[in-house]
């Protein structure tokens, strides 16, 4: 099992609920501080507020772009990205145009991702959500290739709104990536067993709203 001291560094501690309040975001950020999670992930509306809560900590701040459908115009996603970075976001989790992926219009998808990446500061992280549950194995492999070619930093399995991560999807991504890009598993990760399966399959980051409960589970199992 993953060492208790290392597991927190995998978590993007997440609250992307549409009814999340300022109190909920304050709680999310404090939990990340208390457990030393890698980052928090919030909706764009709460980026500035989260910056205040995380001030003088090492916790990174992530937000979402084109979320959750991915069907915004590229220009809209770019403006979202630039606004989020200006507000203080360290990492962007962007949903690609899933329809274009299903049409196998891979050049168009690659161009969209590359447009966002090249207009971001080099020290900011771009994760690309491909909604793996909506694709065949071959399409997952092709999507991974597209994300690598676009020079993004991570490929991410899911928004969590339309199906979650599977070990099969993460393994396929990992095999195709061959170390060229990192993998974030997200959606439906609720237990230590889920975490271990995703990490063993090749994930180096976990998007999770159950992070605190998982840490408590591991503490209870020590």
Give tens-digit pLDDT for 9-33: 999 999 999 999 999 999 999 999 9
Residue 153: CB partners within 8 Å, gap ≥ 6?
Answer: 125, 126, 127, 181, 182
**pLDDT less than 50: residues of the chain:** 1-3
Give pLDDT, residue 219.
85
Domains along the chain?
7-221 (3.20.20.70)
Q: Are 91 and 125 in contact (CB under 8 A)?
A: yes
Beta bridge partners of 128: 94, 155
Which residues, in sequence order, are CB contacts of 99 under 8 Å at separation 6+?
A: 71
Distance between CA atoms of residues 214 and 7, nearest Å:
10
pTM of the model: 0.96
In sequence order, which ranges of 67-159 are alpha helices (DSSP H)? Answer: 74-87, 98-102, 106-118, 137-149
| Residues 161-174: b if buried by 16+ CB within 10 A, e if exposed | eebbbbeebbbbbb
Closest of 69, 8, 7 to residue 37, by C-alpha: 8
34: part of which helix (H) or strand (E)? helix 22-35
pLDDT of residue 188: 96
Q: Please list the active-site residues.
A: 93, 156, 184
pLDDT at 221: 84
Q: What percent of the chain has pLDDT over 70?
A: 98
Distance (Å, whole) CA 142 – CA 138? 6
pLDDT on residue 2: 47
Tell me which residue of 220, 159, 164, 155 sits closest to 197, measured CA to CA: 164
Q: Is 164:187 a contact under the CB 8 Å cutoff?
A: yes
């Amino acid at each position: 099992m993953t060492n208790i001291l290392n597991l927190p560094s995998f978590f993007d501690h997440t609250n992307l609920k549409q009814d999340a309040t300022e109190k909920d975001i304050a709680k999310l950020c404090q939990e990340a501080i208390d457990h030393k999670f890698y980052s928090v992930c919030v909706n764009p509306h709460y980026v500035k507020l989260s910056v205040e809560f995380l001030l003088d900590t090492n916790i990174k701040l992530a937000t979402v772009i084109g979320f959750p459908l991915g069907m915004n115009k590229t220009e809209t996603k770019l403006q979202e990205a630039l606004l989020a970075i200006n507000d203080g976001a360290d990492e962007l989790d962007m949903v690609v145009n899933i329809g274009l992926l299903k049409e196998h219009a891979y050049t168009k998808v690659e161009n969209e991702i590359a447009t966002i990446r090249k207009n971001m500061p080099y020290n900011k992280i771009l994760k690309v959500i491909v909604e793996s549950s909506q694709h065949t194995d071959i399409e997952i492999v092709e999507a991974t290739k597209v994300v690598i070619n676009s020079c993004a930093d991570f490929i991410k399995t899911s928004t969590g709104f339309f199906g979650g991560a599977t070990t099969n999807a993460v393994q396929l991504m990992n095999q195709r990536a061959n170390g060229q890009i990192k993998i974030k598993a997200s959606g439906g990760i609720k237990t230590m067993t889920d975490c271990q399966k995703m990490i063993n399959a090749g994930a180096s980051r976990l998007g999770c709203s159950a992070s605190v409960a998982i840490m408590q589970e591991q503490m209870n199992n020590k």
